[in-house]
């Protein structure tokens, strides 16, 4: 029965759907970028900690 149902969709409706989809994708993209920045900062922190440990070990040896 759904095959027989026709919808009247205006250009404004389509534009609204596209805009909502774009806004949702943009928001998700921004959230992913923030997550990536946090992970990258975590990696830099680990690297810094690792370098500090190596420096201390070289002083002991």
Q: What percent of the chain has pLDDT over 70?
A: 90
Write out pLDDT tens, residues 27-36.
999 999 999 9
Rounded Cα distance, 17 and 11, in Å: 10
**Domains in the chain: boundaries:** 11-60
Q: Is the pLDDT of residue 1 over 50?
A: no
Question: Coil, helix or strand for 36?
Answer: helix
Three-state DSSP string of 1-61:
CHHHCCCCCCHHHHHHHHHHHHHHHHHHHHHHHHHHHHHHHHHHHHHHHHHHHHHHHHHHC
Write out pLDDT tens, residues 36-54.
999 999 999 999 999 999 9
Q: 0.85 cut: is pTM over it?
A: no
In this prediction, residue 60 has a pLDDT band, given cuts at 50, 70 and 90, of: confident
């Amino acid at each position: 029965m759904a095959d027989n149902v026709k919808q009247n969709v205006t250009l404004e409706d389509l534009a609204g759907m596209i805009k909502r989809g774009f806004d949702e994708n943009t928001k998700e993209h921004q959230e992913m970028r923030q997550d990536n920045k946090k992970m990258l900062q975590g990696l830099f922190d680990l690297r810094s900690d690792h370098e500090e440990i190596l420096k201390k070990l070289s002083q002991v040896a």
